[in-house]
Amino acid sequence: MTRVLYTGTKNASSWALRAWLALREQGIDFEERVVDIRVPQRFENLARIREFSPPGAVPVLVDGDAVIFDSLAIMEYASEIGAHPLWPADPVLRARARSLFAWVHGGLSNLCAQLSFESSFYADRRAMTAQEIVESDRLCAVWERALSESGGPYLFGELSLADLAFVPVACRIVSHRPSLGGWPLSQAWCGRLLARPAVREWLDQARALPVVVLADYHAVD
């Protein structure tokens, strides 16, 4: 096997999850090497990654002589070499799907700043703040519109990289706000997305790990 994907601790590595999902959904064979990114060992472990990948972060895909070290690049690579493209064929829909992906890639307007991926697996999850509810409603409105216009079952009809990019976000929101009242299409889409076999496989493994405690999680206004 010459294709190796370096991922991170499964209940703490949302970007690695996205890359891993794209490869799995495309039926692409790869060896997975999990890098422990918990403190304090993360610093030494990521220093080793820096020996062959400039950012010194995960995910990294090594395919023969190629080193692909950005999650979006890995996902697009999976779309291109896999069984079928994971972008819509229509150029306008493809641009819209890429726009949503870019929004996620750019931080999603700070929705995820305090509501970390790690917290999705906590037993003592706190209530969402008023601002987090506002931001999640704004996101659900975007999902609702896309699903209404496409007719589903995914944001742009067929499963796309835009859907996969939102998996960790859906985990955050659904784990803290199980009922998305007023957003029925988003509620059903989140359930459908999180029920996909590849998503369940990663999340089941993540739930089996000791939680990664972030000290500032409960320290919110």
Residue whose C-alpha is closest to residue 55's, from 79, 39, 71 = 71
CB proximity list for 38: less than 8 A, separation 6 or greater: 9, 12, 212
Q: What is the pLDDT of residue 112?
A: 66
Q: How many other CB atoms are found less than 10 A from the CB of residue 30? A: 18
What pTM was estimated for this model as a whole?
A: 0.94
- Would 3-81 and 91-207 be classified into the same CATH topology? no
Of all residues in the chain, the percent with pLDDT exceeding 70 is 96
Give residue 200's pLDDT: 98
Domain assignments of the chain as residue spans, ordered by start: 3-81, 91-207
* Residue 84, pLDDT score: 92
**Paired sense of beta strands 31-35 and 60-63, if any:** unpaired
DSSP the chain: --EEEEEE-TTT-HHHHHHHHHHHHTT---EEEEE--STTHHHHHHHHHTTTSTT--S-EEEETTEEE--HHHHHHHHHHHSSS-SS-SSHHHHHHHHHHHHHHHTTGGGTTTTS-SGGGG-SSPPPPPHHHHHHHHHHHHHHHHHHHHH-SSBTBBB--HHHHHTHHHHHHHHHH-S--TT-HHHHHHHHHHHTSHHHHHHHHHHHTSPP---TTSS---
Return the CATH number of 3-81, one of 3.90.480.20, 3.40.50.20, 3.40.30.10, 3.40.50.1820.
3.40.30.10
Class of domain 91-207: mainly alpha
Q: What is the pLDDT of residue 110?
A: 66
From first to last of its 221 residues, the chain has per-residue pLDDT tens of 589 999 999 999 999 999 999 999 999 999 999 999 998 898 999 999 999 999 999 999 999 999 999 999 999 999 999 989 999 999 999 999 999 999 998 877 567 667 889 999 999 999 998 888 988 999 999 999 999 999 999 999 999 999 999 999 999 999 999 899 899 999 999 999 999 999 999 999 999 999 998 878 877 65
**pLDDT tens-place string over residues 142-200:** 999 999 999 999 999 999 999 999 999 999 999 999 899 899 999 999 999 999 999 99
Scored b (16 or more CB within 10 A) or e, 91-101 reads: eebbebbbebb
